[in-house]
Structure 1
Amino acid sequence: MSRHPPASRDQFRWFHTITTRWMDNDAYGHVNNVVYYSWIDTAVNRFLLDHGLLDLAGSPVVGIVAETGCRYISQVSYPDEVCVGIRVAKLGKSSVRYEVGVFRAAETLASAEGHFVHVYVDRATMRPVAIPDAVRAGLETIHVPA
C-alpha cells in the first residue's frame, strides 16, 4: 500500500508554535500519539480565540468535537519545537472540518497530519445550529477548498 506524501507548510493558512515537554515523550523516546491530539485541539481553539470567534465562558453557540484523526509520518521528540498549521477543508451549514499539519521546527514537510471536525451547537440545548455568520467569516479566511 502506497502512502501519499506528507503535506507541506504552504498548504496551511494559520500556524501556532508549541514547545514539547519532557513528559510528552513515551517509553520509546518519541512524543506519544495522544499528545498530537492535544496539539491539534490547542491550535484550532487558539485560532478561534485569537480571532475573536469564541468566548469560552459566554458564546451561546459553540463547536463540539465530532471527529478527529491523525496520521503519523516522522518522529517528534522532546525538546523539539513544533509548529501546527491549520486550514479549513470543508465548511458546512453546522460543521467545519479542519485539516492540520504538525511540523518539527522549521521543516517544510509535516511530521504528522490530522483532521478535526467541529459541529456547532446551541450551548443550552446542545442541538446543532448553523455556524454563526461572524464565525463563518473568520473560518473563510483559512478555507482551502478541496
Structure 2
Amino acid sequence: MTDKPQPEGREGYRAFRAIPTRWMDNDAYGHVNNVVYYSWFDTAVNAHLIEQGALDIHGGETIGLVIETQCNYFAPVEFPQVVEAGLRVARLGTSSVRYEVGLFLQGGASTVAKGHFIHVYVDKATRRPVPLPANLKKVLEALT
C-alpha cells in the first residue's frame, strides 16, 4: 500500500463532460499549465449544475463559493487534445459539497489528473451560508 495518489478509472464517476484544450492552454514546456486544470474543474461542475436546472447564475438567490481546491497530476495534456471531466460528489453537507473531478484524455481509461473542490453555498446578497436548495440537493445526490 502507498499513500501516493494513484490514477483512477472511469467507473467511479457519475457524469462526464468533454472539454477541448486551447492553444493558449499550453505553457512554455509544451503541456497544459496546471492552473488550467482548475478552470476545467469549475467548468465541468458548473455546466452540469446549470444544464440540470440546479444553478441559475443570473437570477438565483444561492451561489457556490469555492473554499478549498486540490489536484494531483499523473500524465501531461497538450493542445489539441480533448479532456473528459468525470464528476462525482464525495460529501454532501447542509450547505456545502465536496466535488471530485477526474480528468481523462478523450476515450482514455484512467485519469491524467484528479482533484477536488469544495463549494459552500451562500445567499447571493449576504454571502452567509444557506441550506442547499432542494433542486440542487437532488442533482448533487445523483452524483454520489
**TM-score class normalised by the smaller sequence:** over 0.9
Per-residue deviation at 1:4? 3.6
- The Cα shift of 1:105 comes to 1.4
Name the SS of the counterpart of 2:138 in structure 1.
helix
Shift of 1:2: 5.3
Distance, in Å, in 2 between the alignment partners of 1:125 and 1:29 is: 43
Q: Percent identity?
A: 53
1:139 and 2:140 matched: yes
* Runs (4+) off by over 4 Å: none
Superposition pairs for residues 41-120 of structure 1, below 5 Å? 41-120=42-121
In the alignment, the residues of structure 1 paired with residue 68 and residue 6 of structure 2 have an alpha-carbon distance, to the nearest angstrom, of 23
| Partner-residue secondary structure (3-state), 2:36 | helix
SS of residue matched to 2:54: coil
Report how many residues are paired. 143
Name the structure 2 match of 1:29: 30
Amino acid at match of 1:43: A
Normalising by structure 2, we get a TM-score of 0.96
- Following the alignment from structure 2 to structure 1, what is the Cα–Cα distance between the partners of residues 9 and 119? 24
User: Aligned partners of 1:8 and 1:97: how far apart in 2?
Assistant: 19
TM-score under structure 1 length normalisation: 0.95
| 1:63 to partner: Cα distance | 1.0
What amino acid sits opposite 2:127 in the alignment? M
Equivalences for 1:7-26 in 2 at 5 Å?
Answer: 7-26=8-27
Whole-angstrom distance in 2 between the partners of 1:127 and 1:4: 34
Deviation at 1:80, TM superposition (A): 0.6
Mapped to 2, the partners of 1:113 and 1:12 lie a distance apart of: 11
| Conservation of the 8 A alpha-carbon contact between 2:64 and 2:121 | yes
